[in-house]
Amino acid sequence: MDQSLDIDLKRESLLKCLIMYLGEETSCLIKEYQADQREEAEREFEKTTMAFFVIREGDALSRALDISIVIDGVEVLNELPSVACACAIMFGFIYALNLKYSEGLKYTFEAFQKIIMDIESKQMSRRAQDLSSKLSKLFFFL
């Protein structure tokens, strides 16, 4: 990764890579809009089960102007500092409110729960087991 990138953008990139590695679509979780598309984003809220809405001034490498969490068509939080922070808060909402993982992101949230948070890590899907095994090997050699 480019050394000049902001740490929040690096974390966001890693999150997107994790989602893609697990065979899921980043657009299921992270919906990105330009600043002049804010009204379009707000109309999209109503159709959304669970996602982050990121409003940027420029391209994907520019800092976000606003990051919101939308659950069941309702904006529950906005003006979050980063996508990584939004992801942690979303996981907290899912866990605290006993929500079902979004079908398009079930492996991503399972990886958060069972690999990163080590909650109920004895039973994992094949995808999560493969990722956990590869991470274990990587960290063993570091």
In a domain, 14, yes or no: yes
Phi, psi (rounded to 5 degrees) for 88 = -65, -40
Domain count, the chain: 1
Would you place residue 1 in the very low, low, confident or very high pLDDT band (cuts 50, 70, 90)?
Answer: low
In a domain, 2, yes or no: no
Residue span of the structural domain in which 19 resides: 7-141
Whole-model pTM: value is 0.83
In a domain, 1, yes or no: no
> What are the angstrom distances between the C-alpha of 23 and each of 20, 51, 75, 128?
5, 17, 27, 11
**Contact indicator for 56, 70 with CB cutoff of 8 Å:** no
In a domain, 30, yes or no: yes
Summarize pLDDT for 7-51 with one digit per residue, the tens: 888 899 889 999 999 999 998 899 999 999 989 998 998 888 899
- How many angstroms separate the first and last alpha carbons of the chain? 19
Task: State residue 87's pLDDT score.
Answer: 92
Pairing of strands 30-34, 50-56: parallel
**Contact indicator for 139, 115 with CB cutoff of 8 Å:** no
